[in-house]
Amino acid sequence: MELTPDLLKTLYRYLVTTRTLENRVATICQSQNANDPLIVGKGYLSAGQEAISVGAAHALRQGDWLAVGHRDMGAHLVRGITPQEIFAQYFCRATSLTQGRDENIHFGCTDKKILGFISHMGASACVANGLAAAMKYRGDPNFVLTTFGDGASSQGIVHESLNYAAVFKLPVVFIINNNGYAISTPVQEQFAVKNLADRAAGYGISGILVDGNDVVAVYQNALKARDHVLAGKGPVLMECKTMRMCGHGTHDSAGYVPRDEIEAWEKRDPLLLMKEQLVKEIDFTEEADKKLSLEVNELIEAAWQAAAKASGPRAEDLLTGVYTEGNLSDVNFRGRSRML
């Protein structure tokens, strides 16, 4: 895929939108009334690592599936989840993707081919395999992209899933966003290999190491990985190195991260890097950047205010939807079109 000016600008716009949306989540968390909070629970932000989610999701085509982690706001936006839907989710509104039954980043959207988020770290990897196996079964020319953190990569299910995908040559791209920390635990207390991509050899699959702050590099490598898995050459393990530039959640000030580590990474902010590239390579100016910020800001302001107006779920609906109504042949699969 050619890197047209439009594509570069689109990537940047998603980075800015993700950052703006999540900054708004953070400010609401800080300023809200504790007795009647707008945001239920905490915010989990992707500050500093937006490029992984945005870049990787751009490699998806319509029939492909996405199995997200908890720092994939960018991928949700790229896949077409709207900021208003995201705020409705954060506010636990009845109109949210989980009907207010779950909160913050604990959602997905089957119609948009996003696996409902699984909080048990790493567990999405095994489901990604299932989706990929079904694609292969049907002969569909699609693949599954799944992302998770360095911490999640310690889970047994991740190792099992990589091995399983390798054996069946499943069209799955496993992306590890190695952002330095799992809550407070630094990577050196999480694993002893230098690069997580090196693990690929142990499963007999391809591993790629990518700069996770370079959205174009992530995008291009994800495309390469997509071609690889669709050519039947087996799954790919792609490690994107980055840094979590915030606490684990909005309640965590990340006091355990050394100051100089943060300062070093601040210089490599993915938004900054991308902007520099735009200015250097195409006709992008400071002015255009300001205009974009204003536009995105307005969009986000309108989104959260509209979501705040929606009503919450009703207690009467507590027990609806635990099971599917009707039998399988009655179920309206909507966008899933025989996807089950």
Ligand X SMILES: Cc1ncc(C[n+]2csc(CCOP(=O)(O)OP(=O)(O)O)c2C)c(N)n1
Residues near other proteins, by CB under 8 A: 40-41, 92, 98, 100-103, 106, 118-123, 151-152, 154-157, 182-185, 189-191, 256, 312-315, 317-319, 322
Q: How far is the CB of 298 from ligand X (least distance, A)?
A: 29
Q: Confirm if 74 and 274 have CB atoms less than 8 A apart.
A: no
88: partner contacted, choices other proteins, ligand X, none (Cβ within 5-8 A by kind): none
User: Phi and psi (nearest 5°) for 172?
Assistant: -125, 135
CB contact burial 179-200 (16+ within 10 A = b; e otherwise): bbbbeeeebeebbeeeebbebb
Identify what 59 binds: other proteins, ligand X, none; CB under 5 to 8 Å per kind.
none
Nearer of residues 107 and 181 to ligand X, judged by Cβ: 181
What secondary structure letter does DSSP report for 313? P
Residue 228's binding partner among ligand X, other proteins, none (Cβ under 5 to 8 angstroms by kind) is: none
Minimum distance of ligand X from residue 70's CB (angstroms): 6
CA distance 58 to 218: 9
Give the one entry of ligand X, other proteins, none that residue 318 binds, where binding means its C-beta sits below a cut-off of 5 to 8 angstroms depending on kind: other proteins
Our CB check for other proteins shows the closer of 92 and 274 to be: 92
CA distance 86 to 84: 5
User: Residue of minimal CB distance from ligand X?
Assistant: 149
Give the nearer residue to ligand X in terms of CB position, either 84 or 179. Answer: 179
CB of 29 to other proteins, least distance (A): 13
Nearer to other proteins, 234 or 247 (CB): 247
Using CB distances below 5 to 8 A depending on partner kind, what does residue 103 bind out of ligand X, other proteins, none? other proteins
Task: Please report where in the chains the tokens 């599936």 appear, as a residue.
Answer: 65
To which residue do tokens 């009845």 refer?
A: 94
Closest to other proteins by CB, 230 vs 310, is 310
| 8 Å CB contact between 48 and 270 | yes
| Angle, vertex CA 18, rays to CA 16 and CA 20, nearest 5 | 65
Interaction site with ligand X (CB under 6 A) = 71, 119-121, 148-152, 177, 179, 181-183, 244, 248
Nearest-approach distance from CB 185 to ligand X, in angstroms: 8
CB of 1 or CB of 322, closer to other proteins: 322
Q: Residue 244: which of other proteins, ligand X, none does it interact with, CB under 5 to 8 A by kind? A: ligand X
In the list other proteins, ligand X, none, the entry touching 179 (Cβ below 5 to 8 angstroms by class) is: ligand X
C-alpha distance from residue 153 to each of 124, 156, 161, 214, 300 (Å): 11, 8, 11, 22, 33
Structure tokens of 248? 């684990």
Q: Measuring CA to CA, which residue among 92, 89, 95, 93 is closest to residue 77?
A: 89
- Of residues 11 and 246, the one with the C-beta less far from ligand X: 246
Q: Order the strands of the 144-149 sheet from edge to edge.
A: 114-115, 65-67, 144-149, 172-178, 236-241, 206-211
Least separation in angstroms between residue 246's CB and ligand X is 10
> What minimum distance in Å lies between the beta carbon of 108 and other proteins?
13
Contacts of 22 (CB under 8 A, 6+ apart): 43, 45, 46, 47, 73
Residue 119 in contact with residue 106, Cβ under 8 Å? yes
